[in-house]
Amino acid sequence: MAFKPKVAEMIAYRAAYICSNPDCNTLTIGPAMAGPKLKNKKGEAAHIIGEKSGSARHNSNACIDIHGEENGLWLCANCHTLIDKNDGIDYPESLLFQWKREHEDTISVLLRTHKSPIPLISRQSTNRKIAQNIVDYISSKGVYFQPATFEDPTHVISSIDQVRKRIQREVRDIDSDKRLKEICRAIQDANREFMNELSRDTTLIDAYLQVLRGRVGIQLKRLRDDVGCDVSGQITKIIP
């Protein structure tokens, strides 16, 4: 069950309507450009300790008010979904309480010292632009989606190496985003292992390409769903 409106509003206020995930910090509210009286909100008050049996991080012996502000964490919709996957095993309550405490401390300092939260937001805008650059570059390489019969092993290795070097350059400019770096690392690992395998045996190019496309497709899905990148065109064929 969702928090009561007044409780959710307090959770949002204390977070300044900025996602509390330190790897995200996206702004979750703003104007809708269709009209002066419209707004967009993509933030949600998430439960740290699950409110009922079967929910992520449920604890029947919790010593706080499960439905109170102290158990709420303000997140964007993507991060809310992320922390509750697999019953929340990757995001224990201790970590989420740490996020809440550190984020509220940061907002409090910004408020007291009259400093702008824009650096938090612009950092994510820069990182998202880097992610989109990577998606667009991969999407321009037919090696990831064209029929394998059209591919020449020498050209394939050269094309993949170009992607590898491009990502290597882009990653240098990522600012404090472990999730994005992890996605890039996974793509780089897939590319490197493919190049190594193909250089040893070009007769298995079809099989190697299938594995590569599967691995890269998973990461493109994460870039689309978790980071907000636009993934379109023929490259979508490899997204599960």
- How many other C-beta atoms can be found within 10 angstroms of the C-beta atom of residue 176? 13
pLDDT tens-digit map of 109-157: 888 888 777 776 666 778 888 999 999 999 999 899 988 666 678 888 8
Listed in sequence order, the DSSP H helices in 75-172 are 77-84, 93-112, 118-139, 153-171
Tokens of 184: 């890039």
Using DSSP, state whether 233 is helix, strand or coil.
Answer: coil
Q: Is 190 exposed, middle or buried (0-12, 13-18, 19+ CB in 10 A)?
A: buried
Query: How far is CA 89 from its chain centroid?
Result: 17
Q: What is the pLDDT of residue 113?
A: 86
Query: In sequence order, which residues have a C-beta less than 8 Å from that of residue 72 and are 6 or more positions away?
Result: 3, 7, 8, 10, 11, 45, 46, 47, 48, 100
Q: What is the pLDDT of residue 46?
A: 97
More reliable by pLDDT, 201 or 115: 201
C-alpha 67/C-alpha 169 separation (Å) is 46
> Rounded mean pLDDT of 31-37?
86
More reliable by pLDDT, 206 or 16: 16
> Rounded mean pLDDT of 54-69?
90
Q: For the chain, what percent of residues have pLDDT higher than 70?
A: 95
Name the one residue in this structure whose structure tokens are 């292992």. 193
> Rounded mean pLDDT of 191-216?
90
> Rounded mean pLDDT of 156-182?
89
C-alpha 31/C-alpha 9 separation (Å) is 18
Confidence of residue 103 (pLDDT cuts 50, 70, 90): very high
pLDDT tens-digit map of 74-85: 999 999 999 999
Using DSSP, state whether 62 is helix, strand or coil.
Answer: coil
Helix, strand and coil percent figures for the chain, each rounded to 5: 60, 10, 30
> Rounded mean pLDDT of 219-228?
87
Q: Is the pLDDT of residue 5 over 70?
A: yes
Q: What is the pLDDT of residue 49?
A: 94
State the chain's mean pLDDT as an integer: 89
CA atoms within 13 A on the CB side of 20: 29
